[in-house]
Each structure stands twice: as C-alpha cells, then as structure tokens.
Chain A
Amino acid sequence: MATLLRYTPLLIVALLWELISRSGLVSQQMLPAFSDVLRTLVELAQSGDLLSNAVASLGRALLGFGLAVVLGGALGAAMALIPFVYRGIDPIVQIFYPLPKSALIPLVLVWFGLGDKSKMFLVFLGCLQPMILATFNGLRGVDTILGWSARSLGASRLEVVREVLFPAALPQLMTGLRTALAFMFLLMVSSELVIATNGLGYLIGSFGDQGSYREMFATILVVTGLGFAADRAFLAWSGHLLRWRP
C-alpha cells in the first residue's frame, strides 16, 4: 500500500501521457498513446524479439562490466597499497579522466568491427575508470588508526588489508560499482544506437528510422525499466551489505 502510494506520481505521468496523446494536442505519430505503447510492448515480448535483443545487449554489457570490476578493483587496490604501482599508473588514469567515454565508440569500431566484442570492450573501458578510482580512494581514505587497532590486536599486515581496509572501503566501493553500472547501461545503449546489428539500443534506433514509433517507445520503456530495476536491486543489496552504517 505504501509502495503504491509512493509510485502514484508515475501513474499520474502515464495518465497525462495518455491524455495528451488522446486529446489530439500532439499527433499520435509524435507521441503514441501510453496504452497503445503498452499493447505493442506485449506484442513485442510475445514475438520473442525483445528477449533475444535484451539477452544480446545484457550479455556483452555484463561481461565487459564484470571484467572492469575485477581488473579495475585489482588495479585500484594495487595503486592504493603499492607506491610504485601508484606512480606508474596514476598519471595514465589522470590523462584519461577528462575523456568523454563515448568518444571511444569509433575506436572499438575500428578495432573490433560491428560484432559483440566492440560493445563489450567499450563497456569494459568505460567502467574501468570508476572502479579504479573508487577502489583507490576507498582504500586510501581508511583511517590509519583502524589499521593500527587491528595490528595491536594481533593482526598481520596482510590481515589488516583483508579484514580492515577492504570492509572499511566498502561504502566507497559500492558507490563506484553503482556509477559503473550506470555507465554500463549508458555505453551499452549509445554504442548500440551507433554501431550494432542487434541489441536493445539497435532496436530503438531502427524502429525510429522505420517510423515504427510505438515499437520505439515500447523498447525505450523496457530499457528504462531495466535500468531502474538494476539500480533498485543494487541499492537493496548494498543497503544489506552496509547495514552497519548509521
């Protein structure tokens, strides 16, 4: 009941959408009615097109994301714990910092063509940096005396890293993961709009080109829903992991 009340504004927006479209204020071309879009969404889902393209999109995006999390986490940790690694890698991370990630789309096109690999690599590159930065800043920001406490309670240096530094850096790590997740969706869709032969982004673009606007809006709804669901699930998981926080 509380949830329903909470999300009532979304219903109101949908209702407004329906009214504006039905009233003829704008043409049905420009804004197909919400109910029509929903019906089209069901049809698309039944035809199986939606599922196969969603699987294609999410499969490669999650692979790139996972790779970035593992490698970015390891690099960030190495930078935080080993001064030599920091001196070697930090300047390189810094010069790539201001690069708008979408500028890498033509690069992965040249390197990997139109197939799965190009999008996977793009998501990997885009998510790498937030993961490196979050891990590095998280570990660096841990209060020194927490480590001292553990040492005086008998922990070895390695145990301090594993049992104190990482749990203490967890809030920052989770923030970095959430940022990377948003980047994943953004790069997934934008690369598929520009260079792809399948996937949800490709579907949106090609429906738009064909003038199948109901289908286009329906697919956008799906992408929006996926992004929202992923974020909510992530927040719930992170809230559970960080339940010790005030």
Chain B
Amino acid sequence: MTGSSIGIEIEGVTHGYTPRSGKPTVALDNISLSIRPNEFHALLGPSGCGKSTLLFLIGGFQKIQQGRIRTARGDVTAPGPDRGIVFQNFALFPWKTVIENVRYGLEKKGLKGSEAEARAKHYIDLVHLTGFERSYPAQLSGGMQQRAAIARTLAIDPDILLMDEPFGALDAQTRRIMQEELLAIWRRTSKTVVFVTHDVAEAVFLADTISVMSARPGRIKRLVQAEFNRSDDPHIHKSPAFADMVEQVWDMVRDEVDQARMQGH
C-alpha cells in the first residue's frame, strides 16, 4: 500500500479523434472522476461511450489532449509498471510460454534467475494455472489465457490494475468463476482497480463504485455505490438487493444503449 490518499484523480479530461473518413468525434467530454486507493471502480456503458479510451488514457498509452490524470506517483504521461493492464484479447506474447510471459515484466524490474522463476511460479499458482507453465498461449483455452495475462500483470505488483473488458471473450461459466477469483485476489492484494465492462451484473457484482457512462460524447452520467463485493455471501447473486441494484443500473444504461443504437453502433 502506498499510504497516499489519492488513487486516481481525473480532472477535466476531453478527448476526440478523427476517423480516416468522417467528421471529428468527441469520445470523452470533460470527464472528472476521483478514485480512492484500493477502490474497485467499474466504468459501465454502451460500446462507443469512450470507456476504453478513458482506461487507455489512465494507462498512458494515448496522449492526454485536454485535462489531467494523476496517480499517487504524479501526472500520467507514459505507460509504467505502476499501472498494470489486462486486455480483452489477453495480449499475451504468443512466442513465449506462460512462465516466460509472466517472467517478462519481472525481468524488466531487474529480477533474474531462480528469483524471477519463483515469483512467476507463485503468481501462476495464484491464478490456478499450475502445470501449464511450459505451454504456449495458443495451446490454452481463452479462460486459461486470461488467467495467464492476469498473472503476468499481478506479478509486477502494480498499484493500479486496469482491466479492459477482461472477461468479455469468455463463456458464461468461465466468466463467473473468473469474476469470483478476481474478487478474491483483489481482497488479498488490495489494489486500485479500474474495470471496463458493458455487463451490468458484472459491474454490480464486482465494483465498489460504478461510473455509468453516456454514449457519444462520453460523459459520466451517474455514480452508483454497489459494494456487494464486500459481502462474504457466496449466493449474493440471488439476493433481492442485488437484483434490485442490477435493475436500477440497467434502467440508467438502457437509455444510453438506445441512443447509441440510433447513432449506428
């Protein structure tokens, strides 16, 4: 834990782009958001609302055009190992085995030999991939590939974990298991998580706070406190409170989905 009082501070971020053929589009319009340390924060909205763009800006992958993003380590200007990221399509290095993938970030930190090996092994065990260390990503199922990607990101011990629809490519059963495991890991490691999704139930199940975003231009429409993630009840999914919350958030999202559909998404 950093002990600092800020997790992520987003101040007045506006971001636009011009597609090859078309008129300039405002993807994010004057976004301000304050995320506490150790908070599990979900960005929820229809496709095209700019939620992934916001995540990539926090990651430092794209240049901030207007506004400011700060973390406990100062202004975000470039990618760094303090902000680990997990992508929807895993982005594992296909020419490296699982353990080589996990070791990659550790070696960049200066860890070598048996130390890196042991640390990588620990995180592979953590995501239940024991026995698949020497497999290439192409030999694994989607769920296993995503476990490997998560292990690779957790191994460098980032303050902040950025996740871009990480379970979007997985089947329903695997997704549920992965959600529960992610929560378990998050509770143990207490990281700040920013989790992009368009699945309402997923956001409600995982997040402390949900930013419900509007379609183009991307704005934060509502902030919702969910906090079912603090519960120990394994059947929290079935509780009336949970169902009510999903229904309530879904109503907020529905208008946006309709609007997005009219804009041709």
Contacts and interface: CB of A to CB of B under 8 A. Distances in A.
A164 B61 contact: no
Contact of B152 (A146, A153, A170): A153
Contacts of B97: 244
A154 B81 contact: yes
Contacts of A149: 85, 87, 91-93
Nearest to A144: B61
Contact of A150 (B78, B87, B104): B104
B138 interface: yes
Q: Is the interface of A mostly helix, strand, loop or mixed?
A: helix
B87 A145 contact: yes
B61 A155 contact: no
Interface string A228-246: 0000000000000011111
A155 B91 contact: no
Interface string A127-146: 00000000000000001011
Nearest to B102: A153
Contacts, number: 71
Interface in B95-150: 95-97, 104-105, 108-109, 136-139
Contact of A154 (B96, B105, B139): B105
Given A244-B138, A245-B138, A246-B138, A152 B93 contact: no
Interface string A141-168: 0010110111111110001000110011
B136 A148 contact: no
Contacts of B91: 143, 145-146, 148-149
B20 to A, nearest CB: 16
Interface residues of B, number: 30
Nearest to B78: A151
B80 A154 contact: yes
Interface residues of A, number: 22
Nearest to B156: A153
A244 B136 contact: yes
B46 interface: no
B89 interface: yes
Contacts of B59: 148, 152
B109 A154 contact: yes
Given A145-B87, A146-B93, A151 B156 contact: no
Nearest to B105: A153
Contacts of B78: 151
Contacts of B89: 143, 145
A243 B83 CA distance: 32
Interface in A91-135: none
B94 interface: yes
A154 B94 contact: no
Contacts of B80: 152, 154
Contacts of A246: 138-139
Interface in B32-68: 56, 59, 61
A153 B92 CA distance: 12
A41 B153 CA distance: 62
B8 to A, nearest CB: 15
Contact of B83 (A143, A152, A163, A167): A152
25 contacts: A145-B89, A146-B91, A148-B59, A148-B79, A148-B85, A148-B87, A149-B93, A150-B93, A151-B78, A151-B79, A153-B81, A153-B84, A154-B109, A154-B156, A164-B93, A168-B93, A168-B94, A168-B95, A242-B95, A243-B136, A244-B94, A244-B95, A244-B138, A245-B94, A246-B139
